[in-house]
């Protein structure tokens, strides 16, 4: 029952079993968000998209028949609220761990592996550049979300400020994402593969431009060094 493959297809398939069992879906959302906040390999964005698709299924019983007449489906509005609260609570738990156990956490192997080894220099530079607004930036940075939120607590960001900024970022991204997929799930399912191909193409172009720029700057630097000699 709970054998889950944490991939796009795996999460959609898992959640689709419970389109007409909303209590399970809401519970899974809370558990997955908490696990994702701690850096476990459960993609938060894919979880929200999968949950939104389940809400779409529940709203279209003709296309996705219920197991029995009158079965209660996942409610989109409730799902948006549950997803938002699950994200905020999960982020706050990580923040509070950093704030309460900060001195002891820094000395642990867990910190060295999960935080210091996950771009801690970049996290510090963002704090120096953006101040408390970095709390919101981490919400949109999956690779640095856990170490970033932990560092918010470690570096003494006030709880109210973290809650306000992270909450605003989550409010802008989480319910809207779930609602959009629940509303236009058919189109999402239809164009998901095409979107992935476009995304890969864009990333490839960005990487090529970055490599060309790096090679160019290196050649310019080498020429400058030779001219000085």
Of these ranges, 12-16, 49-53, 207-211, the one predicted with the greatest mean pLDDT is 49-53
pLDDT of 26 higher than 90? yes
- Percent of the residues in the chain that have a pLDDT greater than 70, as a whole number: 69
Q: Are 26 and 58 in contact (CB under 8 A)?
A: no
pLDDT of 1 higher than 50? no
- Percent of the residues in the chain that have a pLDDT greater than 90, as a whole number: 18
The pLDDT value recorded for residue 129 is 81
* Number of other CB atoms surrounding residue 128 within 10 Å: 9
CA gap 169, 83 in Å, rounded: 13
Give mean pLDDT, residues 75-85: 95
pLDDT of 77 higher than 90? yes
pLDDT of 170 higher than 60? yes
CA gap 107, 110 in Å, rounded: 9
Q: Are 188 and 49 in contact (CB under 8 A)?
A: yes
Q: What is the pLDDT of residues 203-221, one digit of tens each?
A: 566 667 767 766 766 776 6
Q: Are 120 and 92 in contact (CB under 8 A)?
A: no
CA gap 34, 21 in Å, rounded: 21
Q: Are 82 and 30 in contact (CB under 8 A)?
A: yes
The pLDDT value recorded for residue 226 is 63
Give mean pLDDT, residues 162-175: 91
pTM over 0.75: no
Element counts in the chain: helices (H) and strands (E) = 11, 0
CA gap 36, 180 in Å, rounded: 22
Q: How far apart are the first and last CA of the chain?
A: 70
Give mean pLDDT, residues 47-69: 86
Q: What is the pLDDT of residues 98-157, one digit of tens each?
A: 888 876 776 666 666 655 555 677 777 788 788 888 888 888 887 778 888 888 888 888
Torsion angle in degrees (nearest 10) through CA of 21, 22, 23, 24: 60
Q: How far is CA 109 from CA 94, 113, 127, 202, in A?
A: 17, 6, 23, 37
């Amino acid at each position: 029952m709970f054998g889950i493959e944490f991939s796009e297809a795996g999460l959609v398939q898992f959640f689709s079993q419970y389109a007409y069992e909303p209590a399970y879906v809401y519970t899974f959302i809370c558990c997955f968000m908490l696990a994702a906040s701690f850096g476990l390999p459960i993609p938060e964005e894919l979880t929200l998209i999968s949950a939104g698709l389940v809400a779409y299924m529940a709203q279209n019983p003709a296309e996705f028949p219920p197991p029995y007449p009158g079965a209660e489906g996942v409610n989109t509005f409730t799902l948006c609220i549950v997803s938002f609260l699950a994200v905020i609570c999960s982020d706050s738990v990580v923040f509070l761990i950093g704030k309460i156990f900060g001195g002891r956490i820094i000395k642990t192997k867990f910190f060295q592996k999960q935080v210091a080894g996950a771009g801690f220099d970049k996290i510090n530079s963002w704090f120096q550049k953006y101040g408390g607004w970095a709390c919101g930036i981490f919400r949109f940075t999956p690779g640095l979300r856990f170490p970033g939120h932990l560092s918010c607590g470690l570096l003494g960001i006030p709880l109210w400020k973290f809650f306000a900024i992270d909450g605003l970022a989550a409010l802008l991204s989480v319910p809207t994402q779930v609602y959009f997929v629940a509303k236009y799930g058919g189109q999402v399912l239809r164009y998901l593969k095409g979107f992935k191909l476009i995304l890969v193409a864009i990333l490839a172009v960005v990487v090529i431009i970055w490599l060309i720029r790096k090679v160019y700057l290196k050649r310019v630097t080498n020429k400058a060094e030779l001219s000085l000699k």
